[in-house]
Homo-oligomer: A and B are copies of this chain.
Amino acid sequence: MASEEGAFVEPRVAPSKYSERVVLKSIVGRSDRGSELIGERVVIGGWVKSSKEQVKDLPQQPDSMAIVPGKQKDVSCVEILQSRIPLFRSIMKILAASHTPIREKLEILAAKPASQPSIVYLQVNDGSCVPNLQVMVESSIASPSHLTPTGTSIVAEGVLEQPSIPCKHVVELKVEKILHIGTVDPARYPLAKPKVPLEVLQGYPHLRPRTITVASITRIRSALTHATHTFFQNHGFLYVHTPVITTTDAEGFSEKFQVTTHCIESDQKLAPKATQDDEAVNLENVKAAIMEKSKKIEELKRSESNREALFAALEDLKKANELASQLEAKDKLNHRNSIESGKREFSKDFFSHKTFLTVSGQLHLESYACSLGSVYTFGPRFRAEKQQNRKHLAEMWEVELEMAFSHLEDVMACAEDYLKFLCQWVLENCSEDMQFVKKRIDRSVTDRLKLVASNSFEKITYTEAVELLMKVTERKFKEKIEWGVSLTEEHESYLTDEIFKRPVIIYNFPKEVKPFYARLNDDGKTVATVDIVLPKVGTLIRGSQKEERIDLLTARIKDLDFPREQYDWYLDLRRHGTVKHSGFSLSFDHMVLFASGLIDIRDVIPFPRSHGNVSY
């Protein structure tokens, strides 16, 4: 099947700017699925997702596929099934569209002598889009056994042609030259088997993006980050970085990770120190010597033979006891000194005081807002709480924003616009991935995105929400609902999924269930806070107007018994030119969860965990 020689075809595939290969999205991701590109010469790269091999024993005919007559049945059997039985067809479609390592075992149908020429059909993907490119390689170009294992990487040059066998593709690459093969040993490759269960996948975070599911979600996640920056930059927000290592606790009660160089030192550097000379005179050793000596005294006593030796031993013990008393006094003094200065633990540390991984950029962000107006940040946040529910991770990314000269209503309006913008963006820019997600993960996911993008949100106070829930008789909630309690996930989902059937904005919560910095309302009981609850995923956004009155904020910090000196800089923002300001935070990982339909986000985010021998 020689390409039309002499007739030079102008390339219409955009070459990759920083690679010799073209991305597959520019071929199979086009609206025509590549049909307009037939005849073009390209170099492609990617990983084999599945493959099949066909024996070839006739000399090749131009523009026709030579298939061994006896073998044709095997293939056409599948073809016939596909064309006649809709369900089988759709299953085949799903399998073929998947990047999950479902290795089509069709090649075993065509058992052949090793020397017999064959043609290999590879489904190749480079991570740029959902569909694979079909790549056809004759065995004279490369050994089929090197190419066919799932996970093999290839870089190949060839010409785009019409598929040589009936298939769902409109184009295939006829390879003329293989430029690179990265082999795979199927016996050792963790993703070689068809359908790797999610629990197994979690053990291989470094290979996980090779599955179609994680690849799709990674692309959706990337789109959501870009949508976020686009939205806020378009609205004149400045992007700032709040510190990750901090001394301030934004919430006053969260479990935190400590950051230190001291544990490492005590591990590595104090150990060699213990071999120093002063070891010989430390209290421990003297105490041990006293034990030895008193044992010896008992023995001498028991034998009753040598009174002189006994008295010498008693004298010796006396000296040891004196030394022990001195050392003990010194130790006590050192201990008291160190407790008094409070620096026993941290004097040798990198920072001279306790530092933590930030649980929220909130307070630091306010310092920017109280200078620059509208600001946002996007960074990692850390919580060391033991996992109470499946949605919790030690390390999660959050979008936080803060606006000077704004009130709670402004937060509600901005948050609603932002969520609508995100949903619309994903619908417009990730249609292929959303189709996959809809097919394979969650049938209703695009409907939910459309629901958010095109309906106004329901807006009720906390008090109204409690009244509504208290009237519910057909459902018994696990946590009893009454004014003053936190709304549980069950309460919230009942409001969104059962009562309103759309996103719900709940505002003005009791001050006891919200952070100290929320602005006290005139009723003296509630604070200007807001939760935005979305169907299925729950509360995605938490916002508040901040207490700008220094007397009230100081009183609240005192009431809660927080260490006042830790919040002194924060109070400065109210002490000097205070302004009304408000903001919210979005749990970005939960937004990805909402957009991808995945309940258990632990499958999506790489983070350190102890999975057998994997340390990532």
Which residues from B are CB-within-8-Å of A23?
236, 373-374
**Is A209 among interface residues, defined by CB-CB distance under 8 A?**
yes
Give the complex CA separation of A413 and B207 in angstroms.
28
Give the complex CA separation of A48 and B576 in angstroms.
11
Q: Is the interface of A mostly helix, strand, loop or mixed?
A: mixed
**Is the CB–CB distance between A218 and B565 below 8 Å?**
no
Q: How far is the CB of A531 from chain B (nearest CB, A)?
A: 18
**Is the CB–CB distance between B384 and A261 below 8 Å?**
yes
7 shortest interchain CB distances as A-B pairs: A127-B372, A209-B371, A182-B578, A45-B405, A206-B367, A153-B577, A247-B615
* Contact sample, A vs B, 14 pairs, CB 8 Å cutoff: A17-B414, A18-B374, A127-B238, A128-B372, A183-B577, A206-B570, A207-B371, A209-B371, A218-B240, A219-B238, A257-B260, A297-B317, A351-B610, A569-B616
Which of B207, B311, B351 is A572 in contact with, Cβ under 8 Å?
A: B207
**Is the CB–CB distance between A364 and B616 below 8 Å?**
yes
Give the complex CA separation of A613 and B569 in angstroms.
9
Binding site for B on A (CB under 8 A): 16-21, 23, 25, 45, 47-48, 126-128, 151-153, 155, 180, 182-185, 188-189, 191, 204-210, 215, 218-219, 221-222, 225-226, 229, 233, 235-236, 238-248, 255-264, 267, 287-288, 290-291, 293-295, 297-298, 301, 311, 314, 317-318, 321, 324, 345, 350-353, 355, 357, 364, 367-368, 371-374, 379-380, 382, 384, 394-395, 397, 403-407, 410-411, 413-414, 417, 548, 565-566, 568-570, 572-580, 605-610, 613-616
**Is the CB–CB distance between A405 and B47 below 8 Å?**
no
**Is the CB–CB distance between A575 and B188 below 8 Å?**
yes
Which residues from B are CB-within-8-Å of A417?
17
**Is the CB–CB distance between A17 and B235 below 8 Å?**
yes
Q: Specify how many copies of this chain sit in the oligomer.
A: 2
Give the complex CA separation of A422 and B221 in angstroms.
24
**Is the CB–CB distance between B241 and A605 below 8 Å?**
yes
Which residues from B are CB-within-8-Å of A405?
16, 19-21, 45, 126, 155
Known contacts A345-B267, A404-B126, A405-B19; A318 and B293 CB within 8 A of each other: no
Which residues from B are CB-within-8-Å of A301?
311, 314
**Is the CB–CB distance between B241 and A380 below 8 Å?**
yes
Which residues from B are CB-within-8-Å of A382?
244-245
**Is the CB–CB distance between B259 and A238 below 8 Å?**
no
Which residues from B are CB-within-8-Å of A615?
247-248, 353, 565-566, 569
Known contacts A263-B258, A371-B215; A206 and B569 CB within 8 A of each other: yes
